[in-house]
Amino acid sequence: MKKRNLLLASLLTALSTAALAEGKVVVYNWSEYIPDGVLKQFTEETGIKVEYSTYESNEVMYAKLQLQKGKGYDIIVPSTYYIAKMSQEGLLKPIDRKQLTHFKNLNNSLLNKPYDPGNQYSVPYLWGSTGIAYNADVIPEGSITRWADLWDPKWKGQLLLTDDVREVFHMALKINGHSANSSDPKEIGQAYEKLKTLMPNVLVFNSDAPREPYMAGDVNLGMIWNGEAVMAQQEMPNIRYVYPEEGTIFWVDSFAIPSGSENTAEAHKFIDFMLRPEIAKQCSQEVGYATPNRAGMKLLDEKTRNNKTIFPDSSVFETGEFQSSVGDALKLYNDYWEKLKTGH
Amino acid sequence: MLRTACVHLRSPLFSRTLIAITLSWLGIFVLTPHLLVMMTSVLTPDTTNFAVWPLTFEAYTRLWEPLYATVFLDSLYLSVTATLFCLLLGYPFAYLLSRLGPVWRNVLLFLMIVPFWTNSLIRTYALKLLMGNRGLFNDLLMGLGLIDSPIQMLYSGFAVTFGLVYILFPFMVLPLISSFDNLDKTLLEAARDLGASAAQRFWRIIVPLTMPGIIAGCLIVFLPAMGMFYVADLLGGARNLLLGNLIKNQFLVMRDWPFGSALSVTLILMMFLMLAVYARANRRIQRKGGLDDANFA
């Protein structure tokens, strides 16, 4: 069930319940990002109630946290560049490593990154990629290999883009040969000009459940997150996932504790629970993204571990780029983004 | 029992308490938020504190940027179309209802209201399923052999208009029904006796006399239509189609509260403007021989 636009409702619940905090943890997460059974198991084992609400973009989550001065939630799951931004702005609480008995399970290559040196504020949950999806029933197999293929005029009014400013700009920056984490106003401006020419091809923006328009047959080509592609393939095997030649988008979403959290101990218990190998495995398998949990990865069945959509070949990493903070340039991105979405 | 209740109603203390409660409710939940919005609209945007001193009218000057003019025109176009369709469908429907016996009338009214018990967001999702390329509408059209391949209905202006009409239809019908109920049938008989044709009776008697209902219905449909961002998000493909989308984005994505507030204030001003038009139209109709007591004196 999608929760898009129930923002106000979830905000109100969060506000009204924050006052009576006892034995509970308020989780604010991306939509469809934790299997239901996992939350239930957590409550059964620890007696801690989970209050759960969802968002579909970093911006919305950030705006709400900022508005409430970091109060109202105990767990949030920002992407890397928002971890950097929010920790600088004092919106995150340092994480007490001593309370996390399973931290050692994590893959070192995803720890201690520039966006959060020493992982003071964040614990990686899942990582994944944003690439291209197409329906091989309609579009010839192998005909789509690059981001630039989306610019073909024959797709007029047919594409899906994720409703995410950084991901959409990533495409244009890469086509222009720039870093997807550029903070150079000139490069961002050029990317905007490039994207303007893509807009006539765009039918819909969706970051709620981008697989659904593909499955409903409304869209046959566009951007998608790898996990959504994996979920779609379970029902529609002919959905193809492409790592674009110019370079795919890699991202990491991490658990963090907002500065105003009133259930810090419960929040740590929640994170520690999520770091258990078998839980990490279950999340990765059901949600379709890669787990940074080495112990959890060993438990994955062979089919999942060999699924190139979830765990790409090393060659993909050579061109692809992990999202990182762009600092104050984010405002510039957002200004251009608004213009694009208004269609001009 | 009834007697004591009547006494209570008449007692000054009771009525004063009632008025005080109503006024404070309006003050706290209607007036204060609006004042806050108006104040925010003249502050300076700030990404961390949302709105700070000093006072500035920059948000209002930004309204004139061509970028927003297009959103405004798109929004206007979609809302006007939706309002017209509501009227075209609602007018005959309301007329029919007013001519029916009480039983059928209540049944039809009930059927119109029933969907309202379901959240409009959920109904919008349902529309999305119906309008998809493999949805019921396309299946039906293809089954009937009217089209060979699915028509792209979803994520278009058409889909948004359809959604708006569907959701706002009862708001058009209800004021119209009361207008038709107030319509004095003897006037129509008199017109017929005096030789007016059916068309003349319609245009010169029925339409002018139901004008208050038409205008009220149009206002109640038009303004919400401009702001229903979730309809445009779900059925229009999440582009900035309606003013409501733009406002929502100012608050949630751009974090430019003053500008978002300025847009909201603009919507409110438009409503005032239209209410003023409505009041004037109403006065003119009554002067020309409406249902006002003065005309029967």
Query: For residue A251, which of A30, A27, A4 has the smallest C-alpha distance?
Result: A30
Pairwise CB contact (< 8 Å): A163 & B132: no
Kindly identify which residue of chain A lies nearest to residue B229, measuring between CA atoms: A5
Q: What is the pLDDT of residue B68?
A: 86
Read off the pTM: 0.82
Measured between CB atoms, does A344 come within 8 Å of chain B? yes
How many helices, marked H, and strands, marked E, lie in chain A?
14, 12
A110, A138: one domain: no
In a domain, B73, yes or no: yes
Give pLDDT tens digits for A246-266: 999 999 999 999 999 999 999
Pairwise CB contact (< 8 Å): A217 & B253: no
Q: What is the pLDDT of residue B10?
A: 62
Residue of B36, B40, B46, B47 to mutate for A, most A C-beta atoms under 10 A: B47
Contact A292, A110 (CB under 8 A): yes
A182, A261: one domain: no
A215, A192: one domain: yes
In a domain, A1, yes or no: no
Residues in B touching A138 (Cβ below 8 Å): none
In a domain, B105, yes or no: yes
Q: What is the pLDDT of residue A3?
A: 43
Tokens for A74, please give them. 């105990």
In the predicted structure, residue B148 carries a pLDDT above the cut 90: no
In a domain, A335, yes or no: yes
Residue B171: CATH number of its domain: 1.10.3720.10
User: Domain tally for chain B?
Assistant: 1
Residues in Cβ contact with A184 at an 8 Å cutoff, skipping those fewer than 6 apart: A178, A329
In a domain, A100, yes or no: yes
In the predicted structure, residue B20 carries a pLDDT above the cut 60: yes
A330, A219: one domain: yes
Q: How distant is the Cα of B239 from the closest Cα of chain A, in angstroms?
A: 5
ipTM of the modeled complex: 0.77
In the predicted structure, residue B294 carries a pLDDT above the cut 60: no
Residue A285: CATH number of its domain: 3.40.190.10
User: Domain tally for chain A?
Assistant: 2
Contact A251, A129 (CB under 8 A): yes
Nearest by CB: B238 against A2, A204, A331: A204
- Collapse the DSSP code of A175 into the 3-class scheme (helix H, G, I; strand E, B; otherwise coil) and give the result: helix
Q: Which domain holds residue B92?
A: 66-255
In a domain, A67, yes or no: yes
Q: Which domain holds residue A182?
A: 128-250+314-342
Give pLDDT tens digits for A8-62: 444 444 444 444 445 899 999 998 899 989 999 999 999 999 999 999 889 889 9
In a domain, A15, yes or no: no
In a domain, B21, yes or no: no
A95, A151: one domain: no
Tokens for B267, please give them. 């919507």
**Can you give chain B as a three-state secondary structure string?**
CHHHHHHHHHCHHHHHHHHHHHHHHHHHHHHHHHHHHHHHHCCEEECCCEEECCCCCHHHHHCCCHHHHHHHHHHHHHHHHHHHHHHHHHHHHHHHHHHCCHHHHHHHHHHHHHHHHCCHHHHHHHHHHHHCCCCHHHHHHHHCCCCCCCCCCCCCHHHHHHHHHHHHHHHHHHHHHHHHHHCCHHHHHHHHHCCCCHHHHHHHHHHHHHHHHHHHHHHHHHHHHHHCHHHHHHHCCCCCCCHHHHHHHHHHCCCCHHHHHHHHHHHHHHHHHHHHHHHHHHHHHHHCCCCCHHHHC
In a domain, A8, yes or no: no
Give the separation between CA A86 and CA B82, rounded to whole angstroms: 42
A115, A145: one domain: no
In the predicted structure, residue B211 carries a pLDDT above the cut 50: yes
Query: For residue A322, which of A128, A136, A51, A176 has the smallest C-alpha distance?
Result: A128
Nearest by CB: A66 against B48, B229, B230: B48
A150, A241: one domain: yes
A328, A199: one domain: yes
A194, A232: one domain: yes
Pairwise CB contact (< 8 Å): A343 & B254: no
Q: What is the pLDDT of residue B286?
A: 65
A232, A138: one domain: yes
Pairwise CB contact (< 8 Å): A334 & B152: no
A38, A92: one domain: yes
Query: A101: how many CB neighbours lie within 10 A of its CB?
Result: 11
Q: What is the pLDDT of residue A197?
A: 95
Kindly identify which residue of chain A lies nearest to residue B73, measuring between CA atoms: A342
Residues in Cβ contact with B271 at an 8 Å cutoff, skipping those fewer than 6 apart: B219, B223
Pairwise CB contact (< 8 Å): A63 & B47: no
In a domain, B239, yes or no: yes
A122, A137: one domain: no
